[in-house]
């Protein structure tokens, strides 16, 4: 469980789903998938959206 720190800025903890396994090689036979071959730099759009949940206790347990 997250706690407040002393200067009033709360700290918390994150949980998130696993990131997707990327699909860099998918469907290379398809005419619309030629961009999958671009591996010389960062390729955008291969990941899936993921959920991140942050929890923090706002009640200072020291007070």
In angstroms, what is the minimal distance from the CB of 11 to another protein?
A: 12
Range 28-59 burial, b when 16+ CB lie within 10 A, else e: eeeeeeeebeeeeeeeeeeeeeeeeeeeeeee
In angstroms, what is the minimal distance from the CB of 42 to another protein?
A: 6
Name the site residues for another protein (rule: CB under 8 A): 1, 10, 12, 17-20, 23, 26-27, 30, 32-36, 38, 41-59
Shorter beta-carbon distance to another protein: residue 7 or 51: 51
């Amino acid at each position: 469980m997250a706690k407040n720190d002393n200067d009033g800025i709360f700290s918390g903890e994150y949980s998130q789903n696993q990131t997707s396994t990327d699909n860099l090689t998918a469907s290379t036979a398809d005419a619309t998938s030629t961009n999958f071959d671009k591996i010389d730099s960062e390729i955008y759009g291969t990941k899936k959206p993921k959920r991140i949940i942050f929890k923090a206790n706002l009640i200072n347990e020291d007070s």
